[in-house]
Structure 1
Amino acid sequence: MFHLIEDSKDLKELDQELLALDFVAVDTEFRRQGKDDIRLSLIQVSSGEETFIIDCILIGKYKGYCSFLSSNKVKKIFHSCREDLDALSSWTNEKVNNIFDTQLANEFLGGVYSIGYQDLVFKLFGVSIEKKETRSNWIKRPLKESQLNYAATDVQYLIKIYQSQLLELEETSKVIWIDQELENRQFDQTLSNTFEDKVIKKIKIGKDEEEDLLQALSKRVNRIAKDYKINSTMLLSKKSQRVFLRKVFKDGLDSALDDLKDWRKELLKPHFAELLTRLT
């Protein structure tokens, strides 16, 4: 069951209700045809008791009635938030604050890297979610009932997942780690790509030597990930390991570590002493 929000008046009233909550689940449906060509269709929001589907196309121009998204008081729970944040920004032109990502939390708890929402729901609750509307035309109106039901299901379990994951994150003292990782998450990939381009153009190292060092680095990353029960790709992916290594050669260990989130730096630095004697 869900409530459709199709005009600014109803959205304004809903926004005030959501601002009074501690957390909400959020998902989006959109069409993306390029990096900067994205059109938001729906925003799905669940309070845990009620689900709302905001039809951004029928509402039209954004008038400032989704302030719950930018609120630092209300935590927004997503699954794989990056493109959702892009889609929301394309309509509101505002930053979403105070977010939680269940996909990322799963990785901090040692789960599969980049797990899909449907797979995570099945893993935790044994519930299968229908996927057939995933590739629907979300721009065409009117939307089919099956599309709306699918969209509503995408937020149905998010709060339950969040509550379960939060308990585990608190027990393992990882809450601050995920908060650091999510800070300005929508900008991380762009910055990472820019950094990598600069490093690769400047570094000079023999291919065989680099591969030997990468193997040694990878073993240490896997060992640390196993010790702390987190996903090794999320800790430092193969691509990031190569960038990190080249940064060490170019500017030294401290400078390379400064490009990492604090939690990642704290885990990696103490374990790299032996390896890095070979690099410096």
Structure 2
Amino acid sequence: MKTIETTEELAQFCSECSRYPYVTVDTEFLRERTYFSQLCLVQLARPGDDDREDAVLVDILADGLSLEPLYDLFRNPDVVKVFHAARQDLEIFQVEAGVIPQPFFDTQVAAMVCGYGDQVGYETLVRRIANQSIDKSSRFTDWSRRPLSAAQKKYAIGDVTHLRVIYEDLAEQLKESGRSAWVEEELSILLNPDTYTIDPEDAWQRVKTRTTSPRFLAALKELAKFREATARDRNVPRNRIYKDDAMMELAANRPKDLEELGKSRLLLREARKGDIAEGILKALRVAEIMPRDEIPKPEERPRTANNATALCDLLRVFLKARSTQEGVAQKLIASSADLDRLASEKKPDIAALKGWRFEVFGRDAMRLKRGEIALSANGSEINVVKIGG
């Protein structure tokens, strides 16, 4: 297999790729020690076979290598860029260069539409569609170390060579079923640059807590905001500033000065002094005077009324039956929270009542809710029965 280490080699390969209908793409990166992903390797393959060097590794860490030829390929409207579970890959390119590949195809999303289950893994698709197996021993190796081992290279190149077979198979299934538009609807989120931007003002929403005290939530918001901005500016993981459990301890106790801050059981020693300590105390002072209408309110899962509990259970049965009939992953059609809201609210604003999901499930789910249809069981098969005239 060929490893590209110069801009000229990359430009030549990307130019050759522009003559093909698609190119498969994957990345290897590290993120354990940084806020932003550290890109280490890009794998590319165009239609063909490996003997003609139709698949290459791009050594991102090679001196003087520019990714501009790759970004030009990403912008080429005539070549589909194929990934599997692409969110983290796209985030890297968006952050690094403000580029999101288009047109774009995600085989994980397509596989969910084609009935391979929820968030199906690449290894599963390789086994079920390409009839191959993957040696995962190099999966969690240090991709920043050079030279790369033969095992690392073999593992990395497999992420794009098998992907060609998977893409062609899934694309054909979607064409036959007429569901290509379903996949495009799902991919619109991944193609939105806002998907990869975390506003420090909203960082508190990533923290799981059951506490609903207004002052606790105000403190949590300001502490999460400070941590997010600091981690981003220093390019270190959030937990290097302070971990979630320490942040919730601070939000609960709300120390007033360095002496009280030093009594924290969970706060890292480095965070009890210097810029981090001052930032924590400032965040807590802001939280103390936060107007009540600016204090965050946790998103509450709707409570299912007693008279809606049976309906909710019925909707779950119907969802399972319909997903089986349509060959689409249940989770892609509707979440448990969607079903709870559908059972409890008159006009819930949920994805299950929009687009292709409405056609597959939402319309009949609303009819079931209104008592216009019922469900009957015939062995393991669930059928819809129309009620009345």
The structure with more radius of gyration:
2
Structure 2 Cα separation of the partners of residues 240 and 199 of structure 1 = 20
* TM-score, normalisation: structure 2: 0.61
Q: Does structure 2 retain, via aligned residues, the 8 Å contact 1:38–1:90? A: no
> 1:110-259 alignment to 2 at 5 Å?
110-185=115-190, 201=299, 205-206=303-304, 208=306, 212-242=310-340, 245=342, 249=345, 252-253=347-348, 255-257=349-351
Query: Among residues 75, 89, 93, which one is paired with 1:88 in the alignment?
Result: 93
Structure 1 Cα separation of the partners of residues 61 and 95 of structure 2 = 12
- CA gap of 1:199–1:267, structure 2 versus 1, over 3 A, is farther
Q: Which has the higher contact order (CA 8 A, sep 6+)?
A: 1
Q: Percent identity?
A: 24
Q: Does structure 1 retain, via aligned residues, the 8 Å contact 2:31–2:38? A: yes
Quote the offset at 1:135 in angstroms.
0.3
SS in 2 for 1:126: coil
**Could you tell me which residue of structure 2 aligns to residue 56 of structure 1?**
60
SS in 2 for 1:58: coil
Structure 2 Cα separation of the partners of residues 59 and 245 of structure 1 = 56
> 1:19-30 alignment to 2 at 5 Å?
19-30=18-29
CA-based RMSD of the aligned residues comes to: 3.1
Quote the offset at 1:94 in angstroms.
0.8
User: How many residues get paired?
Assistant: 268
Structure 2 Cα separation of the partners of residues 18 and 241 of structure 1 = 45
1:16-56 CA-partner distances (Å, limit 9, x unpaired): 22222210111111112389421111111111221011111
Unaligned runs of 5+ in 2: 49-53, 206-295, 372-389
1:113-146 CA-partner distances (Å, limit 9, x unpaired): 2222122111224322111000010112221121
Q: Does structure 1 retain, via aligned residues, the 8 Å contact 2:57–2:157? A: yes
- CA gap of 1:18–1:210, structure 2 versus 1, over 3 A, is farther
- CA gap of 1:13–1:59, structure 2 versus 1, over 3 A, is farther
- CA gap of 1:115–1:202, structure 2 versus 1, over 3 A, is closer
Unaligned runs of 5+ in 1: none
SS in 2 for 1:139: coil
- CA gap of 1:157–1:226, structure 2 versus 1, over 3 A, is same
1:185-243 CA-partner distances (Å, limit 9, x unpaired): 2659779xx8xx7996367635656654432332222222122111112222335544x
- CA gap of 1:186–1:219, structure 2 versus 1, over 3 A, is farther
**Could you tell me which residue of structure 1 aligns to residue 239 of structure 2?**
none
- CA gap of 1:190–1:274, structure 2 versus 1, over 3 A, is farther
- CA gap of 1:92–1:10, structure 2 versus 1, over 3 A, is farther
**Could you tell me which residue of structure 1 aligns to residue 38 of structure 2?**
39
**Could you tell me which residue of structure 2 aligns to residue 268 of structure 1?**
361
* TM-score, normalisation: structure 1: 0.82
Quote the offset at 1:12 in angstroms.
2.0
Quote the offset at 1:269 in angstroms.
2.9
> 1:90-109 alignment to 2 at 5 Å?
90-109=95-114
Structure 1 Cα separation of the partners of residues 11 and 159 of structure 2 = 23
